[in-house]
Amino acid sequence: MNSTDEATMTSYEQFDVFLCHNSKDKPEVKQIGEQLIQQGLQPWLDEWEFRPGLPWQRELERQIEHIKSVAVFVGSSGLGPWQEQELDAFLREFVKRQCPVIPVLLPSAPQQPKLLIFLSGN
């Protein structure tokens, strides 16, 4: 492993929680991410981590292998289409690694939100 590989590996290992959200809920999720940083945690949020012009799906696949947990946010708009795909990937990976998948109901979420069966068990 060369120094570039080591630097890349270190960047993957630094994130405590992936913030999985519907893009319509981004302002609320971004605020929560900022609060997590103030508490000494390192959240992964697409807006903060993706570099424009690069294939984001591959980068996300690499990150999923190294992130310690995922917070799945549900707001008034429910789960978004990309959010559902991310969630599927996290569930597959995290079952193998025994990492937490944490559903988070945002203040805007309905009283009885419709959750995916596998998410509602968490």
Largest pairwise CA distance in the chain: 51
Does the predicted TM-score (pTM) go above 0.85?
no
- pLDDT computed for residue 109 by the predictor: 79
Say if residues 26 and 47 touch (Cβ distance below 8 Å). Answer: yes
Residue 112 token pair: 């009885």
Summarize pLDDT for 84-120 with one digit per residue, the tens. Answer: 888 888 888 888 888 888 888 888 877 766 665 556 5
Summarize pLDDT for 18-27 with one digit per residue, the tens. Answer: 999 999 999 9
Summarize pLDDT for 19-75 with one digit per residue, the tens. Answer: 999 999 999 999 999 999 999 999 999 888 877 777 777 777 777 888 888 898 988
